[in-house]
Amino acid sequence: MDYALQQLLNALAFGAEYSLVALGLAVVFSIMGLVNFAHGEIIGVSAYSVFLAAALGLTSPIVAVLLAVAAAALAAIAFERVAFRPVRYAPTTTGLLTAFGVSIVVQNLFMLLISPKPQSVSILNGLNQMWFFGPFAVSSLQVMELVVSGLTILALVLFLNRSTLGLAIRAASRDFATVRLMGIRANRVIATAFAISGALAGIAAVFIIARRGSVSPDLGFSLVLKAFVACVIGGFGSLPGAAAGGMLLGFIEVGLLVALPQEYGGFKDALTYVIIVALLVYRPEGLLGQRVELGDKEI
Amino acid sequence: MLTVDNLIVRYGAVSAVRDLSLKVGRGELVALLGPNGAGKSSTINALTGLVTPASGRIVLDGQDISRVRTEDRIRAGLTSTPEGRHIFANLTVGENLRLGAATRRDPKGVRQDIERFLALFPVLSERYGQAAGTLSGGEQQMLAIARSLMSRPKLLLLDEPSLGLAPKIVVQIFDFIGELKAEGLTLLVVEQNAKQALRFADRVYVVSAGTLRHSGPPAGLADEHGLFNLYIGG
């Protein structure tokens, strides 16, 4: 019972983290058609900001958490302003290559300016404890991951459904030109989408730092690949799809770890992708993906 | 209200609009007629700034807006209901109307305007919380026009409001356009359906192959042959 509960919590926590990062990718992709592979470096900037602040004498974990989220949101806005805005109307592949370029440049900046080796960051270690509920011992970090991700997604849903800018982001995912015809500034819609994407990455960064206790230049890259897969499972561009895809990916991974005999544990990733391929053969548009309506005539 | 001088729109080597000049006076309903591919929509898109013209001057209320961004043209009081309606299908009817008022800072007035349009189009009221994509074509057109009016424009550009709609619905839509004119709104209506467009028009421009063929009062165009000859450049 204890074991089953622990694995369930594992799956939920992994899934929540994938969902956060996948939502960040999806919110930008849905309005710009840009797969932002530099999303991992937004997580990186966030993590290194906390590392530098701690090195300079910051001791408050709360300030570190706020700093992580703020730094990530600002980094995302800066990436858009500097790198993605000039290629906004270029073909999709240009945006994709630009994102890889940003990713490589920023990773190398971490290596050159700080160090290629992992650096220890202990300021958020306090988040990672064992909590005891009666006979059950659970990781506080996993519980927080689940609760915070849930609240964050709830806040995002409220923002997208209640605020004018949120409505504009949803509308822009289908028809950006007409959003501009409402007098809503395209730059503002896109900057907001990047800021949201960054803030989600910042929250993920907090949990990564707390779990690993260190930062390294390639910190976010593999996570973004997983988030990309989560988006594909859910249907690229669909926000509910990204959240669901992330959660499903968490469950597949943990489920395989539990089900596979120890000596076959190395096949976990391979089998994960086999399951995903099978899923895509059955539903090529992803779980919640849908065809985009283009209207009668493009303007 | 609106003056367009020597507008030229090109897509690569193809000229869509060649040296078009037109004027819309305050309170006027001006019809821009022409066959498919005449450059009518290109003209509208150049007016809203979604397409950048190769040359020409666009003056709104004495202010040269030729180099102004789309968003700021809307804020300056020009609004367009695009061809094919382009309602936000994944948003509800209410959300569509709210986005139409995105530039306004008077929540009370916005609420009053929404209520006014819901009273005017009861079907929008019934479907207020539903995705706008579930509306019929005619209902979508009404929503699209109402959404444009939510910004309280000085000048409304209507691009093919009759497109793809049943004749009975088209008459309803143009009745409503006539009411808007009676309320004092300035309108530029682009149409292929000449008969409906001529019902309320003060003046008419006819374009064909990107060039202005005729301008003047609607009376002389009521004869279908006259219009046909203008369309084919006879």
Q: With cut-offs at 50, 70 and 90, classify the pLDDT of residue B196.
A: confident
Examine residue B111 and state whether it is found in any structural domain, yes or no: no
Q: What is the CATH number of the domain that holds B167?
A: 3.40.50.300
Instruction: Establish if B74 touches chain A: CB-CB under 8 angstroms.
Output: yes
Contact B99 A167 (CB under 8 A): yes
In a domain, B198, yes or no: yes
Mutate to test the interface with B, among A31, A165, A170, A178 (most CBs of B within 10 A): A178
Q: Is the separation of the CB atoms in A43 and A208 below 8 Å? A: yes
Answer whether residue B23 is part of any domain.
Answer: yes
Q: Say yes or no for a CB contact (<8 Å) between B82 and A184.
A: no
Give the max Cα distance, chain A: 63
Question: What would the pLDDT profile of B32-69 be if each residue is shown by its tens digit?
Answer: 998 888 899 999 999 999 999 999 999 999 999 999 99
A184 vs B contacts (CB less than 8 Å): 71, 99, 102-103
- The model's pTM is 0.90
Q: Do B102 and A164 touch (CB under 8 A)?
A: yes
User: Any idea where the domains of chain A sit in the sequence?
Assistant: 2-219
Q: DSSP string of A191-224?
A: HHHHHHHHHHHHHHHHHHHHHHSEE-TTTTHHHH
Cβ contact (<8 Å) for B84 and A184? no
The total domain count for chain B is 1
- H helix or E strand, kind and range, residue A120: strand A119-120
C-alpha–C-alpha distance, residues A73 and A68, integer Å: 9
| Smallest Cα distance from B75 to chain A, Å | 6
Interface of B with A in 171-230 (CB under 8 A): none
- With CB atoms and an 8 Å threshold, state whether B83 touches A296: yes
C-alpha triplet A123, A129, A135: angle, nearest 5°: 175
Position B96 in a domain: no
Percent of chain A with pLDDT over 70: 96
Inside any domain, residue B33: yes
Q: How far apart are the CA of B80 and the nearest CA of chain A, in angstroms?
A: 7
Please report whether residue B132 resides in a domain: no
Q: Give residue A135's pLDDT.
A: 78
B141 at interface of A, judged by CB pairs closer than 8 A: no
Amino acid at A249: L
User: How many interface pairs between A and B have CB atoms less than 8 angstroms apart?
Assistant: 83
Per DSSP, what are the bridge partners of residue B63? B60
Strands laid side by side in the B203-208 sheet: B78-81, B155-159, B186-191, B29-33, B203-208, B211-216
Burial class (CB in 10 A: 0-12, 13-18, 19+), A134: exposed
A184–B contact, CB cutoff 8 A:
yes
8 A C-beta contact, residue B113 and residue B119? no
Closest C-alpha among A240, A239, A234, A238 to residue A252: A234
Could you read off the pLDDT of B120-152 as tens digits, one per residue? 999 999 999 999 999 999 999 999 999 999 999
List pLDDT tens digits, range A82-114: 999 999 989 989 999 999 999 999 999 999 999
Domain span at residue B33 reads 2-86+155-231
Q: Residue A52 pLDDT more than 90?
A: yes
Mean pLDDT, range B216-231, rounded to an integer: 70
